[in-house]
Structure 1
Amino acid sequence: MTVEAALGLAGLTVVTVLLLAGVAVLTSQLRCTDAAREAARLLARGQPTEAAAAVHRIAPPDASLEIEQAGDDITVKVKAKESTGLLPEIKLSATAYAVAEPGTETTGAPG
């Protein structure tokens, strides 16, 4: 009975660690989504410097920002890697879209 209990506890530990890693990945994905949304909003208002700063502040560490603009349409992509190291193959990505506000200058956005 002792061996079964030890194996059961080991299995329970593995499942708990994987659940916690999943919650960490979910949280990082939500941070990427929030960062992309905020950057798109700021770019639409003509504030590219603030958009890059918002991504740096909101997104997970080492996240990258990609900006594509076609006319008034702005697409923002924020990409990051899973940061806990438990699930290294997971790559996080979020995309947000915005339309530039009339009269704003959006060229020169960092990308």
Structure 2
Amino acid sequence: MFAAVTQVRCVDAAREAARLAARGDRSVAVAAARRVAPAGAEISLRDEGDRVIALVMSDTPLLPVLELRAEAVAVKEPDPRA
């Protein structure tokens, strides 16, 4: 059960990070993801063309050999200043 809750938190954090990063504010995206993600989770963002991909990875304390991960993709929003 604990692993399932941790996985859901990884999914939620990845989704939030991708959505905010697509708006152009990566530091806010990572900070928001950290608030949602399990403690100690690794959060990364990368660009692929017109998309932003957020990856959240976390170990589970009760099952140390199990690494949970979630990935979310969002299309970058146009820069309103351009």
Judge conservation of contact 1:44–1:104 (CA < 8 Å) in 2. no
TM-score by length of 1: 0.68
Q: Is the 8 A contact 1:45 1:104 kept in 2?
A: no
Once the two structures are aligned, what percentage of the paired residues are identical?
43
Structure 1 pair 70/104, CA: closer, same or farther in 2 (3 Å)? farther
SS at match of 1:88: strand
Structure 1: segments with no counterpart, 5+ residues:
1-22, 106-111
Cα deviations by residue, 1:19-67 (Å, 9 ceiling, x for unpaired): xxxx111000000000000000000111111111112100001111121
Separation (CA, whole Å) in 2 of partners of 1:40 and 1:24: 25
1:90 aligns with 2:43: no
Within 1, Cα distance between the matches of 2:80 and 2:66?
Answer: 37
Higher relative contact order (CA 8 A, sep 6+): 2
Q: Choose between structure 1 and 2: higher helix proportion.
A: 1
CA distance in 1: counterparts of 2:29 and 2:78, whole angstroms: 18
1:71 is displaced (CA, Å) by: 2.5
Runs of 4+ in 1 over 4 A off after TM superposition: none
Q: Deviations over 1:67-97 (max 9, x none)?
A: 11022211110001003xx311110100000
| Whole-angstrom CA distance in 2 between matches of 1:98 and 1:51 | 12
Change (3 A) 1:104 1:43: farther
Q: TM-score, normalised by structure 2?
A: 0.90
Structure with greater proportional strand content: 2
Q: Pick the aligned partner of 2:48 from 53, 70, 76.
A: 70
